[in-house]
């Protein structure tokens, strides 16, 4: 699999959309969460694409796979923060479900990307 620009991949685009959604929903969180949950969710969300991008600039596909694995870990971290946000009443059940479904999609797609890079 030849990748010229990771930003052109569907998984990157969906993960970027997810990041933008996280930034939007966290705007309505209580101000006391500014340095807590807001910061953690935004960092986890943005690190998904950041790690994929950084990995694509590395020297070989093994390093790229490693960074994709880190990105997938960030998806899991974000998923928990979404569950926590719903539990704290910061987001609705509907919003939580929508965001969790998107994290599942991104996680599966990153896994597929990792598998495709294993043969390189």
Domain positions in the chain: 6-117
Q: Which CATH class is domain 6-117?
A: mainly alpha
Give the whole-angstrom CA distance, residue 17 versus residue 110: 15
pLDDT tens digits, 39-81: 999 999 999 999 999 999 988 889 999 999 999 999 999 999 9
Q: Is the pLDDT of residue 82 over 60?
A: yes
The predicted structure's pLDDT at residue 101: 98
**Residue 19 tokens, joined:** 């990041």
Q: Pick the range with the lowest mean pLDDT from 20-24, 94-98, 116-120.
A: 116-120
Which one is predicted more confidently, 84 or 3?
84
Mean pLDDT, the chain, whole residue set: 95
Residues 6+ apart with CB under 8 A from 10: 109
CA distances from 67 to 23, 53, 107 (A): 23, 9, 13
- Average pLDDT rounded to a whole number, residues 25-39: 96
Q: Residue length, the chain?
A: 120
- Average pLDDT rounded to a whole number, residues 14-41: 97
Give the whole-angstrom CA distance, residue 7 versus residue 100: 22
The predicted structure's pLDDT at residue 3: 67
* CA dihedral for 94, 37, 46, 113, sign (positive or negative): negative
The predicted structure's pLDDT at residue 59: 80
The predicted structure's pLDDT at residue 64: 94
Give the whole-angstrom CA distance, residue 65 versus residue 69: 6
The predicted structure's pLDDT at residue 60: 87
Q: Note if the pTM is more than 0.85.
A: yes
């Amino acid at each position: 699999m030849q990748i010229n620009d990771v930003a052109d991949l569907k998984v990157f685009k969906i993960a970027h959309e997810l990041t933008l959604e996280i930034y939007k929903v966290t705007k309505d969180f209580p101000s006391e969460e500014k340095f807590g949950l807001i910061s953690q969710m935004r960092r986890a969300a943005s690190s998904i694409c950041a790690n994929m991008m950084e990995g694509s600039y590395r020297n070989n596909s093994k390093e790229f796979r490693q960074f994709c694995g880190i990105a997938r870990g960030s998806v899991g971290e974000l998923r928990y923060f979404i569950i926590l946000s719903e539990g704290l009443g910061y987001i609705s059940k509907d919003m939580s479900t929508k965001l969790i479904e998107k994290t599942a999609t991104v996680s599966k797609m990153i896994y597929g990307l990792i598998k495709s890079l294993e043969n390189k």
